[in-house]
Amino acid sequence: MILCSDNSIYTGITNNLPRRFKQHCDQQGAKYFRGRQPVKIVYVEQGHGRSSASKRESAIKKLNHNEKLLLIESVPQKN
């Protein structure tokens, strides 16, 4: 999940997170980033295959903004 410049949260799937984030920053990723900029990666899940990743993405996209924030906060931050 990526925090955006308008405080929205983008959810997507990829098998190469650094490359995909760079694409979004360079306006070569999702259309969602037209009119807003990606700020930082705030949540990552690993260990999914393509099918389970798509299902998980769909489930996360159905969450409201506050539920997404709770999900982000549930992961211990690395210092």
Instruction: Tell me the C-alpha distance between 73 and 13, whole Å.
Output: 20
The pTM (predicted TM-score) of the whole model is: 0.89
What pLDDT is attached to residue 29? 84
What pLDDT is attached to residue 49? 93
Q: 66 vs 2, 9, 62, CA distance in Å?
A: 15, 10, 12
Per-residue pLDDT of the chain (79 residues), as tens digits, is 999 999 999 999 999 999 999 999 999 989 999 989 999 999 999 999 999 999 999 999 999 999 999 999 998 766 5
Instruction: Tell me the C-alpha distance between 58 and 11, whole Å.
Output: 9
Residues 2-73: name the CATH superfamily.
Answer: GIY-YIG endonuclease (3.40.1440.10)
Instruction: Tell me the C-alpha distance between 1 and 68, whole Å.
Output: 9
What pLDDT is attached to residue 76? 78
